[in-house]
């Protein structure tokens, strides 16, 4: 059964993201003293007194004001409100009740959802701040003084939220093991958010022509006939020279964290631009992390097709991302939905390949055949002897080779063995790790 969802809402710069991070117990939402830093909905799981729940942070609601980004932020907050079981309205005691607070409170009352009022920045200890009584005017019941910076009052806030959760007699164990977690990564404006919105069928993350609109990594649960998935849309990864402020640095870090916690990376390439230097760095991050990968060439609907256009583009991508020869390439259009359904089959396929286990006996059969075809190298009269190979891990598949002298094990022969293992077992879409151990290292 789905866990209860708490939505944290409020006008900009009242401390919603800091409170979100405090409750989540880790830094997931970007915190910066700048209104409008959180633009999308950011999710986390947490628990309190034995009750598990999901938490969603939203961009600040500006009831008035124009601009494309502000409109999107209002829409995102409204979607979060509609999906939630309990809403936490965050206000700022240092500014008192503002006209925006009144309008947001009226919007929440119209939603008919349970609302808990949190008055943030009550950082002092001892006697309560009398200014808190002003917040009764919002008509949302007793205001709860909290300090997102120090953690004061968050326990009282969560006690109140848990009281308002819907009853769940079956418990709320999440079926996380069945889900394939997928990080959608790439440089800014490659179409990552458009792909996620196409998959989910809702305006889940902000899509704008402005590069770098998505700043946080955003999680979305999805299920269809092919399986259960957790999609992580990430901020576009920029070149370091372009990372000119702290917010952008946090976004790059968030993308790296998304790669670390996913099973499969979908690397988005802009078909019109081809593989850029930045694309190779993004792909390199996923490769180094050992994640199963799919290369999705997006905006294929905008490409004027001629004879062998697909083949030429395929060869160019293979050439420019030569270190990822194992990764399947798919040509998609997030805008029109072209081949997006096929993406699920590929995600399942590469996830299974990355989880493959091969018995030691079978591996050593491959090793014997490989050495018979091509003798191990020699150096100054000494020949490399490989005693045996065994698998030590999955995601990525990792193997240990024991030999007489690790220095004789040239990288080219290591690559040859990797190719022989792939020739027999496939292991498409996943990098392989081969670790060399010298005789006598077995007990290390």
Q: What is the mean pLDDT of residues 272-295?
A: 93
Q: Is the per-residue pLDDT at 37 higher than 50?
A: no
Residue 185: other Cβ atoms inside 10 A: 30
Give the model's confidence band at 273: pLDDT under 50 very low, under 70 low, under 90 confident, else very high. very high
Q: What is the mean pLDDT of residues 42-71?
A: 74
Give the model's confidence band at 238: pLDDT under 50 very low, under 70 low, under 90 confident, else very high. low
Query: For position 398, what pLDDT does the model report?
Result: 96
Query: For position 25, what pLDDT does the model report?
Result: 79
Answer positive or negative: Cα dihedral of 367, 371, 372, 373: positive
Give the model's confidence band at 319: pLDDT under 50 very low, under 70 low, under 90 confident, else very high. very high
Same fold, 5-163 and 176-354: yes
Q: Residue 97: what are its φ and ψ, rounded to 5°?
A: -80, 125
Query: For position 144, what pLDDT does the model report?
Result: 94
Report the alpha-carbon distance of residue 279 to residue 28 in Å, rounded.
Answer: 25
Q: What percent of the chain has pLDDT over 90?
A: 48
Give the range among 21-35, 71-85, 413-427 with minimum mean pLDDT. 21-35
- In this predicted model, which residue has the larger pLDDT, 351 or 112? 351
Q: Is the per-residue pLDDT at 130 higher than 90?
A: no
Instruction: Convert the pLDDT of each residue in 59-71 to its tens digit.
Output: 677 666 556 666 6
Query: For position 169, what pLDDT does the model report?
Result: 45
Q: How does the average pLDDT of the chain come out, rounded?
A: 83
Every domain of the chain and the residues it spans: 5-163, 176-354, 360-438
Task: Assess contact for 92 and 81: CB atoms under 8 A.
Answer: no
Query: For position 1, what pLDDT does the model report?
Result: 45
Q: Which CATH superfamily does the domain covering 176-354 fall into? A: P-loop containing nucleotide triphosphate hydrolases (3.40.50.300)
Query: For position 215, what pLDDT does the model report?
Result: 47
Query: For position 55, what pLDDT does the model report?
Result: 84
Instruction: Convert the pLDDT of each residue in 158-177 to its tens digit.
Output: 999 999 998 754 444 444 55
Q: Is the per-residue pLDDT at 268 higher than 90?
A: yes
Query: For position 49, what pLDDT does the model report?
Result: 87
Give the model's confidence band at 133: pLDDT under 50 very low, under 70 low, under 90 confident, else very high. very high
Give the range among 17-31, 38-52, 207-221, 419-433 with minimum mean pLDDT. 207-221
- In this predicted model, which residue has the larger pLDDT, 313 or 72? 313
Q: What is the mean pLDDT of residues 83-105?
A: 90
Q: Is the per-residue pLDDT at 385 higher than 80?
A: yes
Q: Which CATH architecture has domain 5-163?
A: 3-Layer(aba) Sandwich (3.40)
- In this predicted model, which residue has the larger pLDDT, 137 or 64? 137
Answer positive or negative: Cα dihedral of 239, 259, 149, 16: positive
Query: For position 412, what pLDDT does the model report?
Result: 93
* CATH of 360-438 given 3.20.20.120, 3.20.20.70, 3.40.640.10, 3.30.300.20: 3.30.300.20
Q: What is the mean pLDDT of residues 361-387?
A: 92
Give whichever of 125-134, 218-227, 390-399, 431-440 has the largest mean pLDDT.
390-399
């Amino acid at each position: 059964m789905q866990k209860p969802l708490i939505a944290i809402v409020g006008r900009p710069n009242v401390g919603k993201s800091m409170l979100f991070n405090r409750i989540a117990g880790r830094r997931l939402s970007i915190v910066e003293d700048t209104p409008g830093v959180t633009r999308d909905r950011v999710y986390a799981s947490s628990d309190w007194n034995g009750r598990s729940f999901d938490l969603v942070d939203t961009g600040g609601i500006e009831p008035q004001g124009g601009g494309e980004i502000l409109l999107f932020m209002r829409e995102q907050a409204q979607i979060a409100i509609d999906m939630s079981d309990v809403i936490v309205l965050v206000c700022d005691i240092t500014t008192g009740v503002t006209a925006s607070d009144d309008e947001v409170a009226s919007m929440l009352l119209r939603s008919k959802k349970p609302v808990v009022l949190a008055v943030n920045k009550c950082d002092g200890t001892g006697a309560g701040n009398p200014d808190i009584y002003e917040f009764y005017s919002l008509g949302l019941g007793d205001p709860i003084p909290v300090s997102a910076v120090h953690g004061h009052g968050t326990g009282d806030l969560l006690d109140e939220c848990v009281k308002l959760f819907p009853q769940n007699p079956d418990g709320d164990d999440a079926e996380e093991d069945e889900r394939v977690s997928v990080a959608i990564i790439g440089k800014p404006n490659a179409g990552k958010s458009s792909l996620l919105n196409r998959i989910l069928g809702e305006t889940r993350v902000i899509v704008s022509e402005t590069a770098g609109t998505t700043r946080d990594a955003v999680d979305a649960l999805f299920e269809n006939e092919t399986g259960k998935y957790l999609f992580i849309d990430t901020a576009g990864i920029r070149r370091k020279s372009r990372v000119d402020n702290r917010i952008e640095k946090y976004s790059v870090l968030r993308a790296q964290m998304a790669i670390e916690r996913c099973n499969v990376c979908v690397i988005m390439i802009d078909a019109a631009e081809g593989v850029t230097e930045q694309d190779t760095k993004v792909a390199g991050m996923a490769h180094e992390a050992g994640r199963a990968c799919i290369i999705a060439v997006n905006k294929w609907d905008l490409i004027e097709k001629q004879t062998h256009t697909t083949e030429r583009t395929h060869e160019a991508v293979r050439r420019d991302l030569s270190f990822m020869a194992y990764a399947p390439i798919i040509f998609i259009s997030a805008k029109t939905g072209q081949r997006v359904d096929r993406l699920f089959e590929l995600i399942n396929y590469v996830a299974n390949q990355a989880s493959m286990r091969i018995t030691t006996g079978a591996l050593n059969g491959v090793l014997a055949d490989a050495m018979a075809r091509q003798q191990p190298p020699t150096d100054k009269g000494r020949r490399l002897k490989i005693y045996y190979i065994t698998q030590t891990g999955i995601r990525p598949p990792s193997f240990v080779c024991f030999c007489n002298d690790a220095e004789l094990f040239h990288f080219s022969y290591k690559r040859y063995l990797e190719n022989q293992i792939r020739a027999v077992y496939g292991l498409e879409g996943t990098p392989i790790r081969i670790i060399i151990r010298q005789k006598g290292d077995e007990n290390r």
